[in-house]
Amino acid sequence: MNRPPMSNLQQSSPLVRGYLFILSAVLFWSGSASLAKHLFTTSYDTLIIVQTRSSLSFVLFAVYFALRRRAIFKIDSKDLLKFVLVGVIGVAVTNFTYYFAVKESTVATAILIQYIAPVLVMIYAVSVIRSELLSSAKVISMALALIGCFFAVTSGSVSSLQLTGWGLASGFASALGYAFMLLMSKHLLAKYSVWTMLTYAFGFATLFWLFVNPPWVVASRGYDEGDWGIFLLFAVMSILIPHSLFSSGLKLMEASTVGIVTTLEPVFSILIAHLALGEAFGGAQIIGAIAVVTAIVLLQLRGMRHAVRNRHVE
């Protein structure tokens, strides 16, 4: 039986949903960046913020799914190590090394080094596991995204970068961890739901932090109900919601494409900081924003063409 013709939007709807998920996640991450900066500089140690954002997210997920959807806890025992690695390396270590790079160098340095990750993901996916095809559109988009990031976070000045010492080493560790998270999460999402992957990832990140910063050490800080309310709000806004959106998008899109789209985060962060805190947003940032948006539009057009082509083949 012949099926009725479908519009381009209907044909590419999974891809469109993927972009919307990732862009929404980036918006949450960008908004929480200004809040994180405020928390780090005025009230709390970096470690407690990084630890509680994953630990409290795990508690919320674990309680909810234990009561409503226990099936999400079922996994194949041979995949247990993969979940451990996503939680420890992809969530805990990546977050900590990123913030450590910010502390030891500059925000611009940390962001630019971390966004080497999409390049690493594309090289690995194309040449090693061969799960993606290389295309001129993807290479051009990658270059535009990286150039856009540079202009957005440095205002076009190399002098704002500090490519030395522990900041540089930690930044590269963060990039490797982020690339690993993208690839391993994509691998697990081919078999498991978003909720299974995130619950176990947050759970193993929580266990890791319990060894690094035990509960009695946290308790000795004397945090009150107001502090824990802030920790909970920050956890929901900076990791629970955006990681749920991010993983939902990653399930629908190529890992390297997701990496490129997330380069919009520093652009959003700078724009939000400009609107909320009055920070500068000048010509260089506008150039950077245009470059990153152009990269994403190119990827979207490429994806829609492939969706239409595949539909015609069917």
> pLDDT tens digits for 209-253?
999 999 999 999 889 999 999 999 999 998 999 999 999 999 998
Residue 156, domain member (yes or no): yes
Residue 258, domain member (yes or no): yes
Place of tokens 């998008």: 249
Residue 16, domain member (yes or no): no
- Are 152 and 267 in contact by the 8 Å Cβ rule? The answer is yes
| Owning domain of residue 290 | 25-313
Q: Residue 265 — φ and ψ, nearest 5°?
A: -55, -50
Residue 6, domain member (yes or no): no
Distance of alpha carbon 199 from alpha carbon 306, whole angstroms = 33
Residue 8, domain member (yes or no): no
- What's the token pair of residue 58? 């795990």
Q: Cα-atom radius of gyration of the chain, to the nearest Å? A: 20
Per the structure, how many domains does the chain have?
Answer: 1
Distance of alpha carbon 299 from alpha carbon 22, whole angstroms = 13
Residue 224, domain member (yes or no): yes
Distance of alpha carbon 201 from alpha carbon 179, whole angstroms = 15
Write out pLDDT tens, residues 25-80.
988 887 776 677 677 777 788 788 889 999 999 999 999 999 999 999 999 999 99
- What's the token pair of residue 284? 């260089």
* Amino acid of residue 109: T
The residue with greater pLDDT, 149 or 240, is: 240
Plot region of 281 (φ>0 → left; ψ -120 to 50 → alpha; else → beta): beta
Residue 48, domain member (yes or no): yes
Residue 4, domain member (yes or no): no
Q: What is the pLDDT of residue 131?
A: 75
Is residue 305 scored above 70 in pLDDT?
no
Residue 134's pLDDT band (boundaries 50, 70, 90)? confident
CB atoms inside a 10 Å sphere around CB 131: 15
- What's the token pair of residue 75? 């996994």
